[in-house]
């Protein structure tokens, strides 16, 4: 074996720092796996043009990556204000629920007033509850509840700008899973056939079902990623994992909605649950935050990324680091270096206890045992839908290259999310031998395999005109 490829996949968020065609090409050639569009920023026209541009460049450089559209979901925000306000400690602020209110006490009040886009807040909160504004930077405490407004006191001072994100820790928000804005964003995803939709603030499996049903009307069935970012998402994690195609541990909001000291354990538990259920999992947000402005990571960030690699998450994700940061390519390099170094240190092992029900799937486990004993062997799977790829990836066979050959371009892109899977496009020949020989030739063209190495191949062959599942051992 020449080289062990990286098993942990990398997602980058596209934005002003990475929209330039040369940078996109460089990112694709530096082997990023998924391009994420954060619909909290950017217009519909921007999204459409960006998706087309990324797809076009993929063609030009002959490497297809997947595209993820991340929609905002039920998110609470403050409204427009004039300029910026410095909110001082102990200052009183009125959060206006009904902008058309005629309440004299409200419009005659001498305190600062800002609207909030969630009128039902009045039913959900109590006096002395805490409201967090702008990613938790400003803390407000509710002093008085009125029909049209909430009077709050500033606990942690800060600078408030327009349209800031609001978190209500521990409170189940009664907003629809997909908002009108999400529907407009989704119209672009439908038109441009995006591979993944990530839904923010998923509270229970019904949010996922609602999104799937909405998209089905348009005959569009992308893979759905549930972003876990509040306490409801954590409480319902098991049923959410079952209903969605992948999970994103959205640590930005999660770290505000939950006590931060619980975050590492929550991350570890969700990663393990996802692997046990054969669902891909993404660790997201603040992985290399300091690299927005610095060319090297902090030691703590290196450790954070390596933890996610040790935990065997499928993907690690970059947000502002690549959308607005000064060193997007360096961030990819850092993640690649850390992943390769740490993966090589994980002992030869795999997840023995993953439940594989079908006898055919149990063969995957045997293939892993064989490949790990041979040491210089890769595993080869042929798959139209990618289902087999997902299972073999979930077994997490460390230090074994995993190649999947598919005849579907969209499957190829969707497999980019899977830990360890190196997808290749192939035309399936009626004669299985022709397909296998072509695949073996392809393996020799990679920078991983070389002559003399072994390939453990899972394939069905025809015996007396009936398909028989086999594991073949071939020498390259």
DSSP letters spanning 177-240: SS-HHHHHHHHHHHHHT-SEEEETT--SHHHHHHHHHHHHTTT---EEEEEE-SHHHHHTHHHH
Residues in contact with ligand PGA, shown as a per-residue x/- string from 117 to 156 under the rule CB under 6 A: ----------------------------------------
Number of residues that bind ligand PGA (CB under 6 A): 12
Give the H/E segment covering residue 25: helix 21-29
Residue 76: both structure tokens together: 């609470």
Give catalytic status of residue 156 as yes or no: no
Give catalytic status of residue 285 as yes or no: yes
**Least distance (Å) from ligand PGA to the CB of residue 199?**
10
* Annotated catalytic residue within 48, 77, 112, 268: 77
**Least distance (Å) from ligand PGA to the CB of residue 246?**
14
> What does the binding site for Mn ion look like in residue numbers (CB under 5 A)?
229, 250, 252-253
**Least distance (Å) from Mn ion to the CB of residue 200?**
6
Hey, what's the torsion of the CAs at 251, 257, 259, 260, to 10 degrees?
20
354 Ramachandran zone, left/alpha/beta (phi>0; psi -120 to 50): beta
Residue 319 has phi, psi (to 5 degrees) of: -110, -100
Partner whose binding site includes residue 406, from Mn ion, ligand PGA, none (CB under 5 to 8 Å by kind)? none
Site residues for ligand PGA, 62-121, by CB under 6 A, read 70
Can residue 38 be called a binding residue for ligand PGA (CB under 6 A)? yes
**How does DSSP classify residue 116?**
B
Rounded CA separation 415/411 (Å): 6
Q: How many CA atoms lie within 13 A of 265 on its CB side?
A: 5
Cβ proximity to Mn ion: between 47 and 198 the closer is 198
* 159 contacts: CB under 8 Å, gap ≥ 6: 84, 85, 86, 87
What are the CB-based long-range contacts (under 8 Å, 24+) for 271-275? 271/308, 271/311, 271/312, 271/313, 272/311, 273/237, 273/238, 273/241, 274/241, 274/246, 274/247, 274/314, 275/312, 275/351, 275/354, 275/394, 275/396
Residues in contact with ligand PGA, shown as a per-residue x/- string from 311 to 330 under the rule CB under 6 A: --------x-----------
Rounded CA separation 312/308 (Å): 6
* 267 contacts 283 by C-beta, under 8 angstroms: yes
**Least distance (Å) from ligand PGA to the CB of residue 215?**
19
**Least distance (Å) from ligand PGA to the CB of residue 127?**
28
Residue 195: both structure tokens together: 């591979």
- Give the CA angle between residues 138, 143, 147 to the nearest 5°: 105
* Annotated catalytic residue within 6, 9, 18, 36: 36
**How does DSSP classify residue 147?**
S
* Annotated catalytic residue within 227, 396, 413, 432: 227
The tokens 């290196």 sit on which residue? 302
Rounded CA separation 405/389 (Å): 9
**Least distance (Å) from ligand PGA to the CB of residue 133?**
14
Cβ proximity to ligand PGA: between 36 and 365 the closer is 36
**Least distance (Å) from Mn ion to the CB of residue 241?**
18
Partner whose binding site includes residue 369, from ligand PGA, Mn ion, none (CB under 5 to 8 Å by kind)? none
**Least distance (Å) from ligand PGA to the CB of residue 253?**
4
Residues in contact with ligand PGA, shown as a per-residue x/- string from 233 to 252 under the rule CB under 6 A: -----------------xxx
Partner whose binding site includes residue 374, from ligand PGA, Mn ion, none (CB under 5 to 8 Å by kind)? none
**Least distance (Å) from ligand PGA to the CB of residue 249?**
8
**Taking CB positions, which residue lies at the least distance from ligand PGA?**
252
Neighbours of 243 (CB within 10 A): 20
Give catalytic status of residue 151 as yes or no: no
* Binder among 40, 294, 342, 426 for ligand PGA (CB under 6 A): 40
* Binder among 33, 182, 185, 229 for ligand PGA (CB under 6 A): 229
Cβ proximity to Mn ion: between 243 and 253 the closer is 253
Rounded CA separation 243/239 (Å): 6
The tokens 């899972």 sit on which residue? 458
Partner whose binding site includes residue 251, from Mn ion, ligand PGA, none (CB under 5 to 8 Å by kind)? ligand PGA
Cβ proximity to Mn ion: between 252 and 397 the closer is 252
Partner whose binding site includes residue 285, from ligand PGA, Mn ion, none (CB under 5 to 8 Å by kind)? ligand PGA
- Nearest Cα neighbor of 50 from 62, 42, 60 is 42
Site residues for ligand PGA, 253-312, by CB under 6 A, read 253, 284-285
Residue spans of beta strands (DSSP E) within 376-433? 377-382, 402-406, 421-425
Cβ proximity to Mn ion: between 208 and 250 the closer is 250
Cβ proximity to ligand PGA: between 252 and 328 the closer is 252
* Annotated catalytic residue within 13, 50, 78, 285: 285
Cβ proximity to ligand PGA: between 263 and 448 the closer is 263
Enzyme catalytic residues: 36, 77, 227, 285
Residue ranges in contact with ligand PGA by CB under 6 A: 38, 40, 70, 200, 229, 250-253, 284-285, 319
């Amino acid at each position: 074996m020449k080289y062990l490829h990286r098993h942990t996949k990398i997602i980058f968020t596209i934005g002003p720092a990475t929209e330039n065609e040369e940078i996109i090409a460089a990112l694709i050639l530096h082997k990023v796996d998924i391009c994420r569009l954060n619909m909290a920023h950017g217009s519909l026209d921007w999204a459409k043009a960006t998706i087309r541009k990324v797809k076009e460049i993929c063609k030009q450089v002959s490497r297809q990556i997947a595209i993820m559209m991340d929609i905002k979901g039920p998110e609470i925000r403050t409204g427009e204000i004039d300029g910026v306000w410095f909110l001082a400690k102990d200052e009183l602020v009125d959060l206006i629920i009904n902008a058309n209110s005629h309440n004299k006490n409200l419009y005659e009040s001498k305190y600062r007033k800002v609207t909030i886009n969630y009128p039902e807040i009045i039913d959900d909160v109590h006096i002395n509850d805490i409201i967090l504004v702008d990613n938790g930077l400003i803390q407000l405490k509710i002093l008085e509840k009125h029909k049209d407004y909430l009077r709050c006191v500033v606990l942690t001072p800060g600078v408030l700008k327009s349209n800031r994100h609001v978190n209500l820790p521990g409170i189940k928000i009664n907003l629809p899973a997909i908002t009108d804005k999400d529907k407009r964003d989704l119209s672009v995803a439908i038109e441009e056939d995006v591979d993944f939709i990530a839904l923010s603030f998923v509270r229970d499996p019904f949010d996922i079902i609602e999104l799937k049903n909405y998209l089905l009307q348009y005959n569009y069935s992308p893979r759905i990623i549930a972003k876990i970012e509040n306490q409801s998402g954590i409480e319902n994690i098991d049923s959410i994992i079952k209903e969605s195609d992948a999970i994103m541990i959205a640590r930005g909001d999660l770290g505000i909605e939950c006590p931060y000291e619980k975050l590492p354990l929550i991350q570890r538990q969700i990663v393990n649950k996802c692997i046990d259920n054969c669902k891909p999992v993404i660790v997201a947000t603040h992985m290399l935050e300091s690299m927005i402005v610095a060319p090297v990571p902090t030691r703590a960030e290196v450790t954070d990324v390596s933890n996610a690699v040790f935990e065997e998450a499928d993907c690690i994700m970059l947000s502002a680091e690549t959308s607005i940061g000064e060193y997007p390519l360096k961030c990819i390099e850092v993640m690649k270096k850390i992943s390769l170094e740490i993966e090589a240190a994980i002992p030869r092992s795999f997840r023995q206890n993953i439940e594989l029900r079908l006898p055919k799937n149990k063969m995957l486990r045997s293939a892993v045992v064989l490949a790990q004993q041979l040491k210089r062997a890769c595993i080869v799977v042929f798959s139209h839908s990618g289902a087999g790829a997902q299972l073999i990836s979930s077994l997490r066979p460390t230090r074994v290259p995993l190649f999947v050959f598919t005849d579907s371009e969209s499957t190829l892109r969707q497999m980019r999310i899977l830990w360890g899977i190196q997808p290749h496009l192939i035309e399936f020949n009626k004669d299985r031998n022709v397909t296998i020989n072509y695949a073996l030739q392809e393996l020799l063209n990679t920078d991983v395999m070389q002559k003399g190495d072994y390939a453990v191949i899972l394939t069905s062959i025809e015996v007396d005109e009936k398909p028989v599942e086999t594991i073949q051992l071939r020498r390259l």
